[in-house]
Structure 1
Amino acid sequence: MTSQTLSGGCQCGAVRFRIHGKPGESSVCYCRMCQKASVSHALILVSVRGNEVEWTRGEPAWFQSSNAARRGFCAACGTPLAYDAPDGLSLAVVALDDPEACPPTVSYGVEGKLSFCDAIPSLPERHTMEDADAAGFLATLQSHQHPDRDTDTWPPEDDHG
């Protein structure tokens, strides 16, 4: 990864951030605490220690998840955003507008890895639009999710619901 500016934020757009500089190591963590914090089988974090992190819209709420670490999240929609520990701040990679910019290079907490994790890549794959029921449902869906880019305002001024 080269020096860059990366942006990201929560699902509803209430909290947005920007990272200035070269992010550090990106890791996937399978520990039970990260599983619960992300409500997923793992949490992917990128270290931003030594970088300037700018909260460009709102700020995360914080939960002290242990005596040594706290976790930042959007108080409005619950999106996990940050992990702050004695070794520095890390941000959730999937909260980045371009998560592909910080692929994980190491796994931690593998003792907590759920038994089905290694089988996930071998599961049969389908594109969403291949399922007629899903395609019909999605044709009527009105997303209120913030787009994967910075916006001047959110929600859009013409959004009344």
Structure 2
Amino acid sequence: MTQIHTGGCQCGAIRYRAEGEIGFPHVCHCRMCQKAAGNYFMPFGGVKHENFTLTRGEPAWFQSSDTVRRGFCRDCGTPLFYDGGHDHVSITLGSLDAPESVKPDMQTNLARKMPWFAELESLPHEPGMDTTPQQAVEIARSSRQHPDHDTQHWPKTGSEFWI
């Protein structure tokens, strides 16, 4: 049975579908990925072009180097794609509807990896900072974030809630 992966941006303007295995799932620590993500690293996995389909919208593209362009949503800014001109497009694993379904099995560009990452598991946890179920319902009612599944209509209208 062929694996089907769907995903998209935070606001729902861009949606995609990837069929088959997502190859080379990895975490990149290079400075360019850090800047593109606004984060310490960027998780990616590759999908052959023939197995990849945009199902809603068109991404904007930034030519981040002579050989690489990065696709993102022009409405909400979500980084979505890395296209290095090969036979595949890399998708940001966090943009998948089920990001837990693809586990990175490698890291790249370790020279820029944050030296304190190994300490994250030992950081204290503040339970009072966790979202309660009631808060989650209230947040969902006012959220403009697209749900983690395909929808017929975008954006939501009227009294539709994505809970």
Partner of 1:102: 102
Partner of 2:113: 113
RMSD across aligned C-alpha pairs, in angstroms?
2.2
Partner of 2:64: 65
Instruction: State the 1:116 CA deviation.
Output: 2.5
Distance 2:2 2:28 in 1: 25
Of 110, 129, 133, 1:131 maps to 129
Instruction: Choose 139-148 or 57-66, whichever is displaced more.
Output: 139-148
What's the TM-score, normalizing by structure 2?
A: 0.86
Could you list the runs of 5+ residues in structure 2 that have no partner in the other structure?
A: none
Partner of 1:146: 146
Cα shift readout 1:73-119 (whole Å, capped 9, x = no counterpart): 00000000000003331000000000011110000011011222222
Distance 1:99 1:51 in 2: 22
> Helix, strand or coil: the match of 2:23?
coil
Moved over 4 A (4+): 134-140
Partner of 2:75: 76
**Count of residues in Structure 1 that have an aligned counterpart in Structure 2:** 156
> Helix, strand or coil: the match of 1:36?
helix
Provide closer, same or farther for how the CA distance between residues 159 and 67 of structure 1 changes in structure 2, counting only shifts above 3 A.
farther
Instruction: Choose 150-159 or 31-40, whichever is displaced more.
Output: 150-159
What's the TM-score, normalizing by structure 1?
A: 0.87
Counterpart mapping for 1:45-56 below 5 A = 45-49=44-48, 51-56=50-55
Distance 1:20 1:100 in 2: 17
Cα shift readout 1:45-82 (whole Å, capped 9, x = no counterpart): 01113551111110211000001101000000000000
In percent, how many aligned pairs have the same letter?
41
Instruction: State the 1:6 CA deviation.
Output: 0.6
Could you list the runs of 5+ residues in structure 1 that have no partner in the other structure?
A: none
1:155 aligns with 2:155: yes
Instruction: Choose 113-122 or 65-74, whichever is displaced more.
Output: 113-122
State the one-letter code of the partner of 1:131.
M
Q: Are the aligned partners of 2:27 and 2:44 in contact in 1 as well (CA < 8 Å)?
A: yes
Cα shift readout 1:122-149 (whole Å, capped 9, x = no counterpart): 212345xx338x6597675321100000
Distance 2:82 2:32 in 1: 11
